[in-house]
Amino acid sequence: MSISHEEILKSALSLPEADRIILATELLDSFEDSLPGLSVANPAFLQELERRANDQSPGIPWEEVKRRMESKLSQ
């Protein structure tokens, strides 16, 4: 029986913040070969994360981002 990504996400979101940070870091580092620069070891990437964390603009709602991604993936 396989676990869906929704179930994994629900479990991950129930973790304490420190554990979620570790998990997110490990997941990001798993893309290092296919997405160069997307690593917490990259100072420029860390700066961008910090910039985004401090950005006060309203941004784009998650549902809109998800819709756009799904639309691009279905092409």
pLDDT tens digits along 21-74: 889 888 888 877 777 777 778 899 889 888 988 888 888 899 999 999 999 888
Per the rule left: phi > 0, alpha: psi between -120 and 50, beta: everything else, 37 is: left
**How far, in Å, CA of 11 to CA of 29, rounded?**
20
CB–CB of 54/48 below 8 Å? no
First to last CA, the chain: 30
**Domains: count for the chain:** 1
Tokens encoding 55? 């950005």
Supply the pLDDT for residue 35: 77
Question: Could you tell me the residue range of the domain that residue 35 belongs to?
Answer: 5-73
Supply the pLDDT for residue 1: 67
Q: Quick check: 9 pLDDT over 90?
A: yes
Residue recorded with tokens 């991604």? 69
